[in-house]
Chains A and B, each alone.
Chain A
Amino acid sequence: EVQLFESGGGLVQPGGSLRLSCAASGFAFSTYAMNWVRQAPGKGLEWVSAITSGGGSTYYADSVKGRFTISRDNSKNTLDLQMNSLRAEDTAIYYCARDPGVVPIHYLDYWGQGTLVTVSS
């Protein structure tokens, strides 16, 4: 069974940093691209970032480019999102989601339950 479990969310002050992690199990993690998608409270879905299966290429939404960094450790089956210079508008539930291909150009077939990030003073 495919399972994705996010952790690392919490309360952080504006300008601060936070690192999210996603632990994957139940599938060959190293052969799938991965994504982060967020959802602000009461709002819709926003794609944030993606990474190829081998980690060699990364992609970002304009709203987070230069502030967030996606990475993965295929030896540990984990996906990370380093978030710096956080703003109030980054407040959201962050989901990790699997892309059924080696490059992240597909739909998202499995999602974790999400971790809440709150940026507030």
Chain B
Amino acid sequence: EIVLTQSPGTLSLSPGERATLSCRASQSVTGRYLAWYQQKPGQAPRLLIYDVSTRATGIPDRISGSGSGTDFTLTISRLEPEDFAVYYCQHYGSSPKTFGQGTKVEIK
């Protein structure tokens, strides 16, 4: 089972700033099987990125994913008010699917 560790736990930034979120896997992720989700309070998670860097339907291009092997990054180039939320990475491709513990992006 691949364990995903996200950092930092909380990111305090202002609107317009760049957010860089990290997801590190306990072993190499094969097949580009890495996704990112956004969750706002009281809402279900929403798929942002799959296959490391492919944006899901309707996701703006200010949100991007990158990485390979064990190190992955979600970047939000310029934070909009609606981007303040919790973000989770997820490994798939085998059972069990595993999630990171989340990074909260809060308004500074």
Looking at chain A's contact residues, the main secondary structure is loop
* Pair A44/B88 contact, Cβ less than 8 Å: yes
Binary A-proximity of B91-103 (CB < 8 A = 1, otherwise 0): 0111111111110
Interface segment, one of B15-23, B44-52, B70-78: B44-52
Q: Does B35 contact A (CB under 8 A)?
A: yes
Known A44-B101, A45-B99, A47-B99: A105·B93 in contact at CB below 8 Å = yes
How many residue-residue contacts, CB under 8 A, span A and B? 60
> Which residues 3-60 of A sit at the B interface, judged by CB distance below 8 A?
35, 37, 44-47, 50, 59
Known A46-B99, A47-B99: A111·B44 in contact at CB below 8 Å = yes
Q: Does B56 contact A (CB under 8 A)?
A: yes
Binary B-proximity of A101-116 (CB < 8 A = 1, otherwise 0): 0001111111111100
Interface residues of A (CB under 8 A from B): 35, 37, 44-47, 50, 59, 61-62, 95, 104-114
List, sorted by A's number, 18 A–B pairs whose CB atoms are closer than 8 Å. Answer: A44-B100, A45-B37, A45-B39, A45-B99, A45-B102, A50-B95, A50-B97, A59-B96, A104-B95, A105-B92, A105-B93, A106-B93, A107-B51, A108-B37, A108-B45, A108-B47, A110-B47, A111-B46
